[in-house]
Amino acid sequence: MNAEVVVPVLTFVTAEGHPDMVSTGGYAERAATTWVDRFIVSGSTTRGDLLTVAERASLLDLWSAAAGPSRLLACTWCEQDVEEALMRRITPLAVLAARPGPAAFDFLRRLPAASYVYSHPLFGAATLDADLCIAARRAGCLPAGAKLAKASLADIAAVHAAAGTSLVLLDGSSRRVAASLAAGAAGVVATPLAALPEPFPERGLGALQRAIDAIQAALDALASREERRAALVDMARRGR
């Protein structure tokens, strides 16, 4: 399968809400043995926004030791996060938290070269759409990649047409891998695989989609994002 598969990894936490570095370290070592192309550290799946800058930086060190910096995307929630990622030679995945129009364009303009953008309507009024990509491309500030959450296949196709192959476009959903790739995505963000099911699915499209669908169905039966997050953590602990 000629596509990039990215997994937003989990952070185990203590009863006080701080990262459990021992449990997370064991999880990271297991994840590193899989064929997954890249791992998103401190993303929204694990509520990385609730951690401190120092805690997110410590997690980057942990994951870098386990998987190497080239396999990581550091979800960055503030400018200091970006600096921490760059110091470790890890690609920032900057949360697009800006209003539409000039503010969103300025956000892209200020990003370091080779950065990725995380576009999710939950975190900002602006999203990385075709118009913003066209403006950024003309100005020479198009990001190197982007994760588009809550995006339709039409959205994926429009951004791909506007940005071209210079943007590594990741569909934030893995419910329809083949259709996402056909629409122009270079890969998908496979949240269900954060559970690290055993045996881990083969890379082929059919086996991958079946494994994703099985876990996604269990998550869809739950009522809230928090319940789904807890279920992923439980699955990961049990190796399911």
pLDDT in tens, 44-62: 999 999 999 999 999 999 9
Domains of the chain with bracketed CATH: 4-238 (3.20.20.70)
Tell me the pLDDT of the chain averaged across its residues: 95
- Among 76-90, 121-135, 138-152, 176-190, which is the least confidently predicted range? 121-135
pTM higher than the cut 0.85: yes
pLDDT in tens, 220-235: 999 999 999 999 999 9
From CA 111, how far away is CA 69, in angstroms rounded?
Answer: 19
Confidence of residue 120 (pLDDT cuts 50, 70, 90): very high
Comparing CA positions, the residue from 137, 130, 176, 136 lying closest to residue 153 is: 176
pLDDT in tens, 69-83: 999 999 999 999 999
pLDDT at 78 (0 to 100): 96
pLDDT of 240 > 60? The answer is no
pLDDT at 124 (0 to 100): 76
Please tell me which residue, 111 or 16, carries the higher pLDDT value: 111
pLDDT in tens, 164-180: 999 999 999 999 999 99
pLDDT at 98 (0 to 100): 87
pLDDT at 117 (0 to 100): 98
From CA 60, how far away is CA 76, in angstroms rounded?
Answer: 11
pLDDT at 121 (0 to 100): 87
From CA 174, how far away is CA 124, in angstroms rounded?
Answer: 22
pLDDT of 159 > 60? The answer is yes
Write phi, then psi, for 222 (nearest 5 degrees): -95, 155
